[in-house]
Chains A and B, each alone.
Chain A
């Protein structure tokens, strides 16, 4: 169990910068997920924490102690690889026992043949066997201990890899996309199993994934990365409700957030596309910006209802029925070439090609400036121009 701190960790290969100034403070027992598109540097970061790669600059501390000079096993972290990296020529037992035999036996007690003469080995091995068996029991892989990795299914290999990490009681578990080689159904299952394992072990987990669902469902905190930086660090709920960056907004949530272009008018007034309603912002007038609307923020307005709020005129293009809910894909009439997806409980007697009015609450708007940074939507009543406009 350990607190893991990263202080301005940077990494560059030749003249490409992979990571720039990463700061992270991971609490003891926390489940922290590094999420981001491929190539964002998340795998490099976890490998640096593991000690498999040196950082170019910056410091890593485990329990307050700098570990930059320590090799992976001295950092007492365990790593689960995407490929599982099980030793194919060893039984499941030998795979899981290896970290312990490496730790407790000297070289000549491990060399084939020679080791047969070691009395100490005969004393130590039963201990190791007991420990491996107890971990195997926790993971329900006891019957597999004598098999080879090639004889196991993907899910079983995953568990063996976890078991090999667990036997050492490491300071922290580092997991590099551990579920991406599993099929969809098993992935969902292993997700909850990993979460339960974390709750039981109460050890620090650092988890790398490109799958936002894994990040959202398993983590205490999520660090969303892009181009070698952390864009936002927070709880899954925070990332979803208040994305600090357009990229975060677009990455987190499925289906993805609807993004529509807007222009900042005089006095920071923003005209919403196809709608008489306006919002107010402190962004400079004349600049481009975009608004994000979650699929569940939009709803169909019954025909004949007042249309003075924030509305979008749209034509239904496609219906995706998911059973419990459906995704309605609309083309916007006011913004040709743009569409939105609406999450709805039912199809409500709609047919493709039909024109409808979509309404949304102004409070649900996420506003982003031209660079994609989040901008605040100010209370509209505070603006004198709006008050004049409201009372003609």
Chain B
């Protein structure tokens, strides 16, 4: 190789590094270094403001496994995901198909369903709290009007989590709908016409033969993002129930928040966060392995 070529290669290498550096620095500062610190903390008994801190090995993780509060919060989180996932995906698909069929009013419905996505969830949680208030809320006023007893949505232990799940679905619906709409628009009109000529006459036939299989890649993506978002539930719990009543709406991130920033058990909170991250990692792995391998038609 000539000296010129060598010089060229060296310049190219340094230029490449120069371009990567800002992004790499940012990634290190915001993700990698905090992650490393978190991982380090999870093996200590560090408490906020404590003078001496020592390594406790895996004691934090052992404690978590035995901790009834943590176990309950993990179970609640999974239950929450189990309600939100089919609700937010199924309903969004249904609404997307209905909205897709509109011509002039399509834009109107898109905006209506997308509005919750653009709002701040903390603020909206306060609004929901008012709406669902047993005495003052319009929902219960409506129930009373119909002659039902009022329902304490947020203070009945068996109702609190499902109520939060409904709010979660409401929040996710618009975004998922937009994703499904994009998927629906990508399906060629010719296919529906070919199916019509081939004898797929009913809406159900068309859905089963064309729409559903061709929306599969979109659906997988929506399911993974919905799972991750649902798993991260925090805002509504913090504002509306604070984990209550009787721990029935305690969820993972709220537990981490309590341990870390209310009780200042930073080491233990770090360990819980690591467990949380393992779950998120699992969902992401599903996304990259299952999704990427699927054929994109």
Contacts and interface: CB of A to CB of B under 8 A. Distances in A.
Contacts of A79: 193-194, 197
Interface string A16-31: 0000000000000000
Contacts of B204: 107
B193 A81 contact: yes
Contacts of A87: 191, 194-195, 209-210, 213
Chain B interface mostly: helix
Interface in A71-127: 71-73, 77-79, 81, 83, 85-90, 98-99, 102-103, 107, 110-112
Contact of A83 (B190, B202, B216): B190
B12 interface: no
B16 interface: no
Interface string B198-214: 11111011001110011
Contact of B198 (A52, A89, A111, A164): A164
B200 to A, nearest CB: 6
**Among the interface residues B195, B198, B201, B214, which one has the most CB atoms of the partner chain A within 10 A?**
B198
Given A83-B188, A98-B209, A52 B200 contact: no
A34 interface: no
B208 A150 contact: no
Could you say which of B191, B196, B199, B213 has the most chain A C-beta atoms within 10 Å of its C-beta? Answer: B199
A107 B207 CA distance: 12
Contacts of A50: 197
A307 interface: no
A162 to B, nearest CB: 13
A160 to B, nearest CB: 12
A107 B201 CA distance: 11
A150 B295 CA distance: 10
Given A72-B197, A77-B197, A148 B191 contact: no
Nearest to A72: B197
A38 B257 CA distance: 66
A85 B188 contact: yes
A111 B208 contact: yes
B188 A89 contact: no
Interface in B198-242: 198-202, 204-205, 208-210, 213-214, 216
Nearest to B193: A52
A80 to B, nearest CB: 9
Given A87-B191, A89-B297, A107-B204, A52 B213 contact: no
Q: Which of A85, A90, A150 has the most CB of B within 10 A?
A: A85
A86 B246 CA distance: 57
Contacts of A90: 213
A83 B189 CA distance: 10
Contacts of A78: 197
Given A83-B190, A85-B188, A98 B198 contact: yes
A102 B193 contact: no
A72 B201 CA distance: 9
Contacts of A89: 213-214, 216, 295, 297
A128 B195 CA distance: 18
Contacts of B201: 71, 73
A91 B199 CA distance: 18
Nearest to B214: A89
A150 B297 contact: yes
A42 to B, nearest CB: 16
Given A88-B297, A107-B204, A73 B196 contact: yes
Nearest to A167: B198
Contacts of A77: 197
Interface in A143-195: 148, 150, 164
A291 to B, nearest CB: 44
B36 to A, nearest CB: 44
Contacts of B188: 83, 85
Contacts of A150: 295, 297
Nearest to B194: A85
Nearest to B205: A107
Interface string A46-74: 00001010000000000000000001110
A18 to B, nearest CB: 17
B183 to A, nearest CB: 13
Contacts of B193: 52, 79, 81, 85
Nearest to B196: A72
A98 B202 CA distance: 15
Contact of B191 (A85, A107, A112): A85
B190 A88 contact: no
A118 to B, nearest CB: 15
A150 B214 CA distance: 14
8 contacts: A71-B201, A81-B190, A85-B193, A88-B297, A98-B195, A98-B209, A99-B199, A102-B200
Given A77-B197, A98-B195, 17 more contacts: A71-B196, A71-B201, A73-B201, A79-B193, A79-B197, A81-B193, A85-B193, A89-B213, A89-B297, A98-B199, A99-B199, A102-B200, A103-B199, A107-B202, A107-B205, A110-B205, A110-B208
Sorted from nearest, which 9 A-B pairs have the closest CB atoms? Answer: A102-B199, A85-B194, A88-B297, A85-B190, A73-B199, A99-B198, A89-B213, A72-B197, A79-B197
